[in-house]
Structure 1
Amino acid sequence: MTDPNADPNVPNVPPPPPAQTAPSYGTNAPSYDTSSPSYAAAPAGQKTNVLAIVSLVSAFFISLVAIITGHIALSQIKKTGEQGRGLAIAGLIIGYVGLVVGIIVAIVWFAIIGTAISTGNVTTY
């Protein structure tokens, strides 16, 4: 319904709500103890998947462990919604690179040993 007394050139807009005043605390202002651990500690965030951390750390030492724990961590993160997906992926990448480099080094090492044995450059005692 329209108001017959309303001006047709003015849109039908409700009036703004009344302004509220800020409370004044005066001498009864609350005091906050910032030395208390409940105020000094940061709020607890979402939990990071432990296997993702293990994957990243073990990638620098044992590549196979990093690959296994990285895949398990990604599976758990998908199910639980925990954080640490980037850590798990980094552990997987570093783990796979380390595994490939280790295989190449082993092949080269055995090739050098095989060449040395076949040419007779190895002395036995």
Structure 2
Amino acid sequence: MTDPNTPDQSGAQVPPVPPVPPAAPEPPAYGAPQPAAPAYQPPAAPAYGAPAAPAYGAPAYGAPPAAKTNVLAIVSLVSAFFISLVAIITGHIALNQIKKTGEQGRGLAIAGLVLGYIGLVVGLIVIVVWIILIAAAASSGYYTTY
């Protein structure tokens, strides 16, 4: 008996040459009828108790964490309805933080800024009108004495 690990001295056991793979089929000529596509076959259901594979596009290990909204952007929008100066200050700080961290809430911060500036301008107009009315009433000469 011969050892299969020793080389053959006679040269009689030469491995056969592998066959040549078939050539790729030629594409059909322009205008020629195309072969019909195979019908869609849904994947087979997994056996009972076997874990199901995630659907296409679904994450394999749970959903990604939701993007965090900047808290100062929310504070800016809410405070714009009560204290305009706080809305302006927190809105600018929130925009700066959003630019650095990439958090959500840029629209909230801008809305808080716009409403804050509008509230500040309206508040200043009201103060000026009150001062004018008080000055006009004081200079009218109508006094009550007891």
Normalised by the length of structure 2, the TM-score is: 0.60
- Residue 44 of structure 2 corresponds to residue 23 of structure 1: yes
Matched, 1:88 2:109: yes
Q: Matches of 2:103 and 2:27 in 1, distance apart?
A: 58
**Residues 81-122 of structure 1: CA distance to partner in whole angstroms, max 9, x if unpaired?**
000000000000000000000000000000000000001235
Q: Which residue of 2 aligns with 1:67?
A: 88
Rg comparison, structure with higher value: 2
Cα-to-partner distance string for 1:34-72 (whole Å, 9 max, x where unaligned): xxxxxxxx8641000000000000000000000000000
Alignment of 1:1-125 (within 5 A): 22-30=43-51, 44-123=65-144
What letter is aligned with 1:96?
A: Y
Provide the C-alpha distance between the structure 2 equivalents of 1:114 and 1:58, rounded to a whole number of angstroms.
32
Alignment partners' CA distance in 2, 1:98 and 1:57:
13
The structure that is helix-richer by fraction is 1
Distance 2:82 2:74 in 1: 13
CA RMSD of aligned residues (A): 3.3
Hey, what's the Cα distance between the residues in 2 that align with 1:113 and 1:44? 58
What residue ranges of structure 2 are gaps of 5+ in the alignment? 1-22, 30-39, 53-62
TM-score, structure 1 normalization = 0.69
Q: Percent identity?
A: 67
